[in-house]
Amino acid sequence: MTGVRLLVGTKKGAFILISDAKREQWEVSGPHFAGWEIYHVKGSPVDPNRIYASQTSAWFGQVIQRSDDGGKTWSQPGTPASDPAIPSDGMPKGDSNKFVYDGIPGTHQWYDGTQHPWEFKRVWHLEPSLTELNTVYAGVEDAALFRSTDGAESWHELSGLRQHNTGPKWQPGAGGMCLHTILLDPVNPDRIFVAISAAGAFRTDDGAKTWRPINSGLRSEFMPDPTAEVGHCVHRIAMHPSRPQTLFMQKHWDIMRSDDAGDSWLEVSGNLPSDFGFPIDIHAHEPETIYVVPIKSDSEHFPPDGKLRVYRSRTGGNEWEELTEGLPQRDCYVNVLRDAMSVDSLDPCGIYFGTTGGQVYGSANAGDSWAPIVRDLPAVLSVEAQTLS
């Protein structure tokens, strides 16, 4: 069946929403992992039925779940629920939950300016490899990048990032010091982009051995030096697979673009009613068409004027049009979080986003009109669209 599967992570479980290509009628399953915070659920580009989920709890820590049948059944990788026996040899079970920093973790900057030890808290983002079924990357809090090459049965830190000499200057944003964006270059397998709140964007060109900050052109007024090399609160970066040199960024404030793989950035906030926000995404077939959801401010996390509006630029920024049809235009005070927007690759392109009020909205016409797919889920943390063929 040609269609779309939405993988939705919420504060109280995961939900899977499936539709045919018309994207009018949706089947909803869930909650999976009921009662747990599901920060992110994402499928493999190699096999869309291979799906990874980050299940987390302040009480019971981090759990990684995997499905090999499109989300019908789940297990902790390497530790099937049906086989809880003590292993006689080989890989210790339960390692899929184990995220341990490489070497002595060291310290980063705390809210009060003092140094604070690096402490693993949770996985914010899972990014399956573009080419290898069993390879998946994890962006974690406190900020670090991990990789698994055995289908998430075990994890190893790619510590060149955290051990960058600016590491002691990184500091947590209001949501924690999280590595939330991982972009894999589809052309150059040695190139990866990541973003950290509040350190900024980084790039490796040698397969994650070494990294460099790519924050030239960013300006953050809350910092003592607004143009410092690190310390910027980057909220999200997006890249169209056909143009891996071009990046779009939603920063704490400001929409930015880079056409040189992050070496330099230019502000393209243009006529937006507010350039604060969290998600940013790109039309599947038009690499200069981008979407954001403006939020009033960093202290008032809701849409300006109580109107939920997606803004679309068909010019790669600067010129924005508001998209309101089907979205609430009064008394709306939800937020849309950084991983809670996604696009499908059908024609016309579908675009989806989830809110902290528990609504998931979808548009089957590139944003021209919207309809709620579900209205009353727990607060939505992430939305990923899979195009099924």
Partner 1 sequence: MIRVSLPHHLRTLAGVGDEVELEPGGQVTQRIILDALEAKYPMLRGTIRDHATQRRRPLVRFFACGQDVSHELPDVPLPGLVASGAEPFIVMGAIAGG
Residue nearer to partner 1 on the CB measure, 124 or 370:
124
* Interface with partner 1, residue 117, by CB under 8 A: no
Cα 54–Cα 55–Cα 57 angle in degrees, nearest 5: 135
Out of 72, 87, 115, 117, the only residue in the binding site for partner 1 (CB under 8 A) is: 87
199-228 positions binding partner 1, by CB under 8 A: none
Closest CA to 74 of 43, 52, 96: 52
| Binding range to partner 1, per CB under 8 A, among 79-87, 186-194, 238-246, 364-372 | 79-87
- CA–CA distance from 295 to each of 84, 229, 291, 371 (Å)? 46, 26, 13, 20
**The tokens of 238 are what?**
């997006």
Residue nearer to partner 1 on the CB measure, 87 or 207:
87
* Interface with partner 1, residue 176, by CB under 8 A: no
* Interface with partner 1, residue 356, by CB under 8 A: no
CA dihedral for 303, 308, 313, 319, sign (positive or negative) = negative
Residue nearer to partner 1 on the CB measure, 84 or 113:
84
* Interface with partner 1, residue 148, by CB under 8 A: no
Residue nearer to partner 1 on the CB measure, 367 or 378:
378
| Binding range to partner 1, per CB under 8 A, among 86-94, 143-151, 190-198, 373-381 | 86-94
Closest CA to 105 of 138, 136, 143, 137: 143
Out of 19, 44, 54, 79, the only residue in the binding site for partner 1 (CB under 8 A) is: 79
Residue type, 125: H
Closest CA to 139 of 91, 202, 190, 94: 202
Interaction pattern, residues 35-74, with partner 1; x per rule: CB under 8 A: xx--------------------xxxxxxx-----------
Q: Contact 335/318 with Cβ under 8 angstroms?
A: no
Residue nearer to partner 1 on the CB measure, 95 or 281:
95
Beta strands 255-258 and 266-267: pairing type? antiparallel
Residue nearer to partner 1 on the CB measure, 59 or 112:
59
Residue nearer to partner 1 on the CB measure, 98 or 243:
98
* Interface with partner 1, residue 86, by CB under 8 A: yes
CA–CA gap between residue 6 and residue 50 (Å, rounded): 14
Residue nearer to partner 1 on the CB measure, 10 or 269:
10
Residue count, binding to partner 1 (CB under 8 A): 27
Out of 29, 100, 190, 297, the only residue in the binding site for partner 1 (CB under 8 A) is: 100
| Binding range to partner 1, per CB under 8 A, among 2-10, 76-84, 344-352, 359-367 | 76-84
Strand order in the sheet with 380-388: 26-32, 13-20, 3-10, 380-388
**What's the closest the beta carbon of residue 95 comes to partner 1, in angstroms?**
8
Q: Contact 55/30 with Cβ under 8 angstroms?
A: no
Q: How many CA atoms lie within 13 A of 338 on its CB side?
A: 24
Out of 1, 25, 84, 114, the only residue in the binding site for partner 1 (CB under 8 A) is: 84
Query: What are the DSSP calls for 355-369, one per residue?
Result: -TTS-EEEESSTTSS
CA–CA gap between residue 7 and residue 17 (Å, rounded): 7
Residues near partner 1, by CB under 8 A: 34-36, 57-63, 76, 79, 81, 84-87, 92-95, 97-101, 120
